[in-house]
């Protein structure tokens, strides 16, 4: 007899990775999942409902959930049949870029409230049930910025580092309950995420920031960041596919990176535990060897280099 479908709750499904993941799981050809695709503003559900097609109302339902609100989490869980979540995907997240001196503490706190405490809030709500049933899987959409810092993204990277430390710690205890944790670490992904950040900075003035720092931000960081998204950016469909595989596996890994083209940068940190290799190389690439960096990114974009480095 086939197993009963697993209930998968996903946060942040109005767009991007969350939306794609919800749709792919709902269309699983073995119908292994009942997807509760959530978003904080149900006024945005049109795109998801259209993409879900005939899965809507069958293997996919849409529900309201603001990860920053206890009431919203309780209300959402109370609407799930039996209140049981087998797989939780903490996907909702916001970014923040700019010179540190020009960003308010309130803006940084908002990033932590959503990216870190939002995930913690949801986990605390579903964990007692998972522990009682002695099974479950918690997936956290982290980032390569949860592994290594990136200039002008200090608060965002810190929120993802916080997730990594929190969930790695929790994973050890939860194995005792047959509950798995997976931190998914995408590199750049071409979603609304980057557009929202660019919109934020286009109107920002960054008061109290010295002219040199502002120049580095506008003239070095932003153009390189755009080039990076263009050259090594993945589609949300590709990232969702990786998460679908992770959810379907019997022994899910603790960490899963999604983008092989980003691996060289992550490796810089892994091979030198002192951290100097990563910090110095990234500094030189950005500020001294800009032409080399751009050439490398163009090669990655065209794909020729990739096939020489990674065997097919």
Ligand X SMILES: NC(=O)c1ccc[n+]([C@@H]2O[C@H](COP(=O)([O-])OP(=O)(O)OC[C@H]3O[C@@H](n4cnc5c(N)ncnc54)[C@H](OP(=O)(O)O)[C@@H]3O)[C@@H](O)[C@H]2O)c1
Nearest distance, CB of residue 181 and ligand X, angstroms: 16
Could you tell me which of 89, 45, 100 has the C-alpha nearest to residue 67?
A: 89
| Closer residue to ligand X in complex, CB, 55/157 | 157
Counting Cα atoms < 13 Å in the Cβ hemisphere of 172 gives 5
Could you tell me which of 124, 121, 120, 116 has the C-alpha nearest to residue 145?
A: 116
Where on the chain is the footprint of ligand X (CB under 6 A)?
A: 11-12, 14-18, 39-41, 44, 65-68, 91-94, 114, 118, 141, 143, 186, 188-189, 191-193, 196, 236
Distance (Å, rounded) from C-alpha 122 to C-alpha 68? 9
**DSSP state string for 111-167:** HIIIIIIHHHHHHHHHHHHHHHHT-EEEEEE--GGGTS--TT-HHHHHHHHHHHHHH
Nearest distance, CB of residue 2 and ligand X, angstroms: 31
| Closer residue to ligand X in complex, CB, 40/137 | 40
For the chain, the residue count is 312
| Closer residue to ligand X in complex, CB, 149/186 | 186
Q: Which of 156, 221, 262, 278 is catalytic?
A: 156
Nearest distance, CB of residue 237 and ligand X, angstroms: 11
> Does the annotation flag 24 for ligand binding?
yes
216 is catalytic: no
Distance (Å, rounded) from C-alpha 131 to C-alpha 165? 21
> Does the annotation flag 64 for ligand binding?
no
> Does the annotation flag 15 for ligand binding?
yes
> Does the annotation flag 79 for ligand binding?
no
Nearest distance, CB of residue 6 and ligand X, angstroms: 21
> Could you give phi then psi for residue 65, rounded to 5 degrees?
-160, 115
Residues forming the active site: 156
Instruction: Report the binding-site residues for NADP(+).
Output: 12-40, 66, 160
Instruction: Report the binding-site residues for substrate.
Output: 143
């Amino acid at each position: 007899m086939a197993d009963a479908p697993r209930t998968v709750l996903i946060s942040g499904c109005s767009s991007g990775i969350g939306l794609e993941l919800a749709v792919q799981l709902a269309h699983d050809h073995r119908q292994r999942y009942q997807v509760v695709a959530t978003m904080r503003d149900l006024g945005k559900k049109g795109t998801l409902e259209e993409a879900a097609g005939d899965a809507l109302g069958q293997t996919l339902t849409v529900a309201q959930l603001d990860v920053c609100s206890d009431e919203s989490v309780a209300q959402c869980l109370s609407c799930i049949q039996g209140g049981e979540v087998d797989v939780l995907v903490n996907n909702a997240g916001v970014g923040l870029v700019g010179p540190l001196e020009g960003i308010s503490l309130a803006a940084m706190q908002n990033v932590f409230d959503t990216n870190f405490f939002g995930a913690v809030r949801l986990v605390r709500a579903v964990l007692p049930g998972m522990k009682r049933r002695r099974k479950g899987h918690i997936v956290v959409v982290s980032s390569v910025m949860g592994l290594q810092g990136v200039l002008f993204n200090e608060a965002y990277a810190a929120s993802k580092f916080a997730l990594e430390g929190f969930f790695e710690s929790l994973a050890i205890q939860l194995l005792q309950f047959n509950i798995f944790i997976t931190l998914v670490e995408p590199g750049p992904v071409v979603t609304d995420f980057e557009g929202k950040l660019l919109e934020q900075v286009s109107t920002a003035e960054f008061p109290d920031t010295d002219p040199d720092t502002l120049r580095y931000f506008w003239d070095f960081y932003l153009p390189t960041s755009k080039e990076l998204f263009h050259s090594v950016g993945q589609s949300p469909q590709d990232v969702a596919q990786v998460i679908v595989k992770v959810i379907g596996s019997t022994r899910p890994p603790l960490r899963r990176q999604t983008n092989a083209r980003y691996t060289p940068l992550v490796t810089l940190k892994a091979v030198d535990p002192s951290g100097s290799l990563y910090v110095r190389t990234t500094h030189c690439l950005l500020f001294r060897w800009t032409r080399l960096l751009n050439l490398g990114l163009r090669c990655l974009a065209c794909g020729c280099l990739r096939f020489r480095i990674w065997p097919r």
